[in-house]
Amino acid sequence: MSRGFPFFAFQNPEHRAYRVATMATHLPSYAVYYLRLKQSRYGRTIPKGDPFFERKFVTPYLAMSLTPRARLSIQTHLFETLDGRFPDGDFVDRLKTGLVLWRAATDAGEQTVTLRLPFRTMLEGDLLLEHALDGAVLYRFSFAFVPDGVVGARETVIIGGSQGVYGTACLTRAAARANGEISPAATLMIALRAICQALGISEIYGVCADNQPVVHSQADHNPGAYDALWAQHGGVPQNGFYVMDAQLSDSAQSIDSGHKSRTRRKRRLKQAILAEIRAGFALYVDNYITPVYLPIAAE
């Protein structure tokens, strides 16, 4: 079986037997998933007209190493997280339209970070973070809340997709310069760390290139970009993932002797953005307790 077979099999009618066999093998888990979907606030809000997304677990969704049963548990966990951690009855509707977590007026224009449900994949079990400049999206993260025991001992987050928008390189550079040399991708990582801190999640998993489904399905994809991004944010390779601490740490960043003041300003800005996003997002979280976080060392 070639490594691209699962994608091909799911889309090609000639391999319907593969799909049927996978569904039959995991029918009890799928039944639990579908029942919880129907009962959840998420399921009552999201249109379910296209069954393709309900069977996303048949494909190598999120990471090649995940089993169909694990992917089903991740999809189900989203419903449980939204119902159990967010008492606001309109929270899912807010995610459908886009919940702005951060907004800043800069020399390049208004920059925003928005949390939303993916437009095309609303039943895949993940959420989408977008960084935009004057409404033009520059970078996206898709991520999923993962129950304990799937990739780690405790509940965690997996970043399933990390992608800059084609044709926005100039805008992306302008946005970074105007935001204290913090790139859109780095801003989204800050936002994801803030979300994790508000929910009490301590680790973030970035998928290694060799474990990344999109790398296996698209020959022209740049596999090194994933590993480089996770390593840049303190990721440690572990079983097909880069594990990153949800805390914003400066331990992985060395200071160039000629740029100490600039590095310190950048760190303080990152901490300020994180604190702002965490405080705003925490308003939606049930039983949120303000954590005690040490500020990044001024040095």
Contact 61, 124 (CB under 8 A): yes
pLDDT for residue 135? 95
Rounded to 5 degrees, what are φ and ψ at 155?
Answer: -60, 140
Residue with tokens 């095309």: 120
Domain ranges of the chain: 88-282
CATH of domain 88-282: 3.40.630
pLDDT for residue 134? 97
pLDDT for residue 59? 75
At residue 154, the 3 state secondary structure works out as coil
- Per-residue pLDDT of 192-238, as tens digits, reads 999 999 999 999 999 998 898 876 555 555 556 778 999 999 999 99
Q: Where are the alpha helices (DSSP H) in 26-168?
A: 27-39, 41-45, 68-85, 91-97
pLDDT for residue 222? 58
- The residues near 296 (Cβ < 8 Å, ≥ 6 apart) are 248, 249, 250, 267, 268, 270, 271
- Per-residue pLDDT of 25-52, as tens digits, reads 888 888 888 888 888 888 887 766 655 4
Q: How confident is the model at residue 54 (pLDDT cuts 50, 70, 90)?
A: low
pLDDT (average), residues 271-281: 96
Distance CA 69, CA 268 (A): 42
